[in-house]
């Protein structure tokens, strides 16, 4: 069976086009556009690239906002003060603090300080709680993007056996909760595997939909995949030769899977598109 390689960039482009059209409509109706501020503390090169991509996408759909760059020595108190100011600023609808943060700053204190109505990353405990009880508001962008990929690729999740590899708060756990939700992109029977799981490969082989988010380069081999399964690769790793790979061994996976979301060019572009959509939603909350 030929494996279809999902074009995450093209799917994300459709979402971005829809967001841009909605921004233009809201601008003509209300005279305002959504504002997104991305906060970057320090000079981690990978974070610098991510932040630039997020702001560029945000400019392209017509949002206002900026990248706020703070020095690596910024204290926790200073960062919290900055967040208080952004929380109070009505032109700012979405606030994203790029992780990881320098050692002297406690991630949790920062995440909890962001106004939950501006938490477009979906990391605040209030938003995590809303997803857990089945009334999601802001959902983390990566799992939200994966659901969007599944829906737009015509993958039937209802009644499907989904296996999520990895239990991180941002990806694995939130992904499992989304797949459990009632409605489009949900209604799956979900299993989460993690570092203490016995025989992960055997459980993975039962999956109609396999989500690899354990953060181990090319750990998912061909014999972990049920013939005809849909495989979504969430990992991103740089090999010693500089090329990128995911958590899935792609050459083996394409021999077995019916559909694969590859790395790069799969989940990554859709994650940014979902950040735009969350920011648009945050703006609409202020209009309501």
Give the whole-angstrom CA distance, residue 9 versus residue 7.
5
Of 4 and 9, nearer to ligand GUN (C-beta) is: 9
Stretch that binds ligand GUN, among 55-63, 80-88, 92-100, 208-216 (CB under 6 A): 92-100
121 scored as a contact of ligand GUN (CB under 6 A): yes
Residues that contact ligand GUN, how many (by CB under 6 A):
6
Of 99 and 180, nearer to ligand GUN (C-beta) is: 99
246 contacts 254 by C-beta, under 8 angstroms: no
Among 70, 83, 141, 274, binds ligand GUN (CB under 6 A): 141
Residue 73 beta carbon to ligand GUN: minimum distance, rounded to whole angstroms: 20
Active site residues: 54, 98, 121
146 contacts 234 by C-beta, under 8 angstroms: yes
Of 22 and 121, nearer to ligand GUN (C-beta) is: 121
Give the whole-angstrom CA distance, residue 174 versus residue 234.
13
Of 141 and 230, nearer to ligand GUN (C-beta) is: 141
Give phi and psi for 205, each to the nearest 5: -65, -15
The residue length of the chain stands at 288
E-strand ranges in the chain read: 4-5, 35-41, 64-70, 94-97, 161-165, 189-193, 209-212, 230-233, 237-238, 244-245, 259-261
Stretch that binds ligand GUN, among 64-72, 91-99, 153-161, 195-203 (CB under 6 A): 91-99
CA angle 193, 126, 163 (to 5 degrees): 15
Stretch that binds ligand GUN, among 93-101, 194-202, 206-214, 245-253 (CB under 6 A): 93-101
109 scored as a contact of ligand GUN (CB under 6 A): no
Give the whole-angstrom CA distance, residue 112 versus residue 156.
36
Residue 182 beta carbon to ligand GUN: minimum distance, rounded to whole angstroms: 26
- Where in 173-202 is the site for ligand GUN (CB under 6 A)? none
Give phi and psi for 118, each to the nearest 5: -115, 5
Residue 68 beta carbon to ligand GUN: minimum distance, rounded to whole angstroms: 13
The closest residue (CB) to ligand GUN is 99
Of 97 and 245, nearer to ligand GUN (C-beta) is: 97
Q: Residue 43 burial (CB < 10 Å; 0-12/13-18/19+)?
A: exposed
How, if at all, do strands 161-165 and 189-193 pair? parallel
37 scored as a contact of ligand GUN (CB under 6 A): no
Residues of this chain that interact with ligand GUN (CB under 6 A) are 96-99, 121, 141
């Amino acid at each position: 069976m030929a494996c279809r390689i999902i074009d995450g960039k093209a799917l994300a482009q459709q979402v971005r086009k829809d967001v841009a059209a909605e921004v233009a409509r809201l601008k003509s109706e209300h005279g305002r556009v959504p504002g997104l501020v991305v906060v970057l503390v320090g000079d981690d090169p990978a974070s610098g690239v991510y932040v630039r991509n997020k702001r560029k996408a945000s400019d392209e759909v017509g949002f206002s906002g900026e990248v706020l760059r703070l020095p690596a020595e910024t204290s926790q108190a200073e960062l919290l003060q900055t967040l208080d100011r952004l929380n109070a600023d009505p032109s700012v609808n979405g606030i994203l603090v790029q992780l990881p943060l320098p050692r002297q700053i406690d991630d949790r204190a920062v995440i909890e300080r962001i106004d939950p109505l501006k938490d477009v990353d979906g990391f605040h405990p209030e938003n995590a709680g809303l997803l857990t009880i089945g009334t999601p508001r802001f959902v983390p962008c990566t799992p939200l993007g994966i659901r969007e990929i599944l829906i737009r690729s015509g993958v039937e999740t209802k009644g499907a056996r989904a296996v999520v590899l990895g239990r991180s708060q941002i990806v694995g756990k939130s992904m499992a909760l989304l797949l459990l939700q009632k409605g489009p992109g949900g209604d799956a029977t979900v299993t989460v595997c993690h570092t203490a799981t016995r025989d992960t490969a055997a459980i993975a082989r039962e999956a109609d939909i396999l989500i690899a988010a354990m953060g181990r380069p090319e750990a998912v081999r061909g014999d972990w995949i049920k013939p005809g399964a849909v495989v979504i690769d969430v990992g991103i790793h740089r090999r010693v030769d500089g090329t990128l790979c995911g958590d899935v061994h792609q050459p083996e996976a394409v021999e077995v899977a019916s559909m694969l979301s590859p790395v790069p060019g799969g989940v990554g572009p859709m994650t940014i598109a979902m950040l735009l959509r969350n920011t648009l939603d945050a703006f609409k909350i202020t209009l309501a």
